[in-house]
Chains A and B, each alone.
Chain A
């Protein structure tokens, strides 16, 4: 069974631009969560989608948004990029999500550099 895939793997943008990241979960998984990882802050939760609906949301500004499609694939969008948005963005999928006892399977991440 294929793992979680994320595209692109690397991205360079300039301040003010917007970016869209894509995540394909493991087949059969309906929950997709997004995280931002920086050296100083560690992993921080962005949001979780389940059955095309945003179920949970972290403490990030409205510039960060996402969506999930009927095939469970998810996209994350960041508008008006700032230097501080440079990070590794990780996507994780699970069967039904919401923490609990399910294991989340992480993708390799998209490394975003904002210049």
Chain B
């Protein structure tokens, strides 16, 4: 069964600290993995997209890693800011077929001053 699981469900950190969010998937055949940021009351916004051959990809203070062998990805946020408070959603797509996007339920990050 194709699944995407994220951990932790929620996280509270102090401003300026780093944090790492996890995404494990059983989706096959794998095509790519994306991380989205969703602010409260708004639609998700794409942060990164990673293919099978990519291990690391950065977007400013966000760094995503992918281990296609263990089917794990992480999103590392450096020097967190209050504006990082949001839900982070991991999305994995398969190479073919209908309904080829599989969504995690997200990690709710709260950055406090």
Interface 9-mer from A14-22, A40-48, A75-83: A40-48
Chain B residues contacting A41 (CB-CB under 8 Å) are 105
CA A60 – CA B101 in complex, angstroms? 15
How many interface residues does chain A have, given as a range? Answer: 20 to 34
Knowing A100-B93, A101-B32, A106-B43, say if A44 contacts B99 (CB, 8 Å): no
CA A99 – CA B93 in complex, angstroms? 6
Q: Is the CB of A42 within 8 A of B98?
A: no
Chain A residues contacting B41 (CB-CB under 8 Å) are 108-109
Chain B residues contacting A55 (CB-CB under 8 Å) are 98
How many interface residues does chain B have, given as a range? Answer: 20 to 34
Chain B residues contacting A98 (CB-CB under 8 Å) are 100
Q: Is the CB of A44 within 8 A of B103?
A: yes
CA A76 – CA B36 in complex, angstroms? 24
CA A92 – CA B51 in complex, angstroms? 21
List chain A positions with a Cβ less than 8 A from chain B: 4, 40-45, 55-59, 90, 92, 98-101, 103-109
Q: Closest 9 CB pairs between A and B?
A: A106-B43, A42-B105, A99-B93, A43-B103, A99-B100, A56-B98, A103-B46, A106-B44, A99-B101
List chain B positions with a Cβ less than 8 A from chain A: 31-32, 34, 36, 41-46, 49, 51, 89, 91, 93-94, 98-101, 103-106
A42-B106, A99-B94 provided; 9 other pairs, C-beta below 8 A? A45-B101, A45-B103, A56-B98, A90-B43, A92-B43, A99-B31, A103-B46, A105-B46, A108-B41
